[in-house]
Amino acid sequence: MKKSLKVKARAKINIILDILGKRDDGYHEIKTITQTLDLSDTITVSKNESGIITISTNSGKIPSDSSNLAYRAAECLKKKYNINGGIAIEIDKNIPVAAGLAGGSADCASTLIAVRNLYNLPITDSELAEIGKYIGADVPYCIYGGTYLAEGIGEKLTKLSPFPMINVLIAKPSIDVSTAWVYKNFNLSKVREFPDADKMIKYIEENDIQGICGNLRNVLESVTAEKYPIIDDIKKAMIKFGALGALMSGSGPTVFGLYTEKKECESAFNYLREELGILECFITSISNN
């Protein structure tokens, strides 16, 4: 029987993101199309005899205690299935932190998967997603990965046709954005362009790169990009260097650009790092696994 297991925790981007209103419980009703990337953290989960859960990481930007979502994932399964042994979780962090890329949720989802597989727990992915939604709204999606329409607070998922394979440039400026602050300051009247989910789903089905890239929309740009002009600067630079489309992901501040040509993607990468000083830049691609 295996004593440890490695799982990839993939970053995700929002191809469109719309806010439909605020719910009675204080959460916002959203409609978004999400897509996983090859950019990923590596989660290693190991069994031991300690009886406790531990977190170790190569990043000083994430907690290594019970506030980490990966810890909470292991804790949920440990209690629910009476796991007596210890669980050691090692997080090799590559996804930028507080970036709008669901890095914490991805780590949580991958920990759920790794603990289940390591202990041969009789749980389906849909049952894992049900557990995960109580830890974080993005966790159910991160368990599946690929191309999905997410509604509700992000937990109502509809699988879509696979997203076209394309080069993706990720750029996170050196600012951290609180998701709670962004949602709190969201004002519908300040949104200039709204996403059209039906149109985007059709473009994805038809593998229409131009249609997809011409209709990238995120209503939260009206909050985050308004406060941090560097977001628009990054988008403009990406377009200037050949991106067919560029958009802020989630609540920001990370921006992604979509490129058919790898050389143009590399040129934009170099410009962003050298001229705009954006150090957290990554050239990656779509992952439909």
User: Which residues are annotated as catalytic?
Assistant: 12, 138
Q: Please give the C-alpha separations between residue 170 and each of 66, 90, 156, 179, 259, in angstroms, as whole numbers.
A: 29, 24, 26, 19, 11
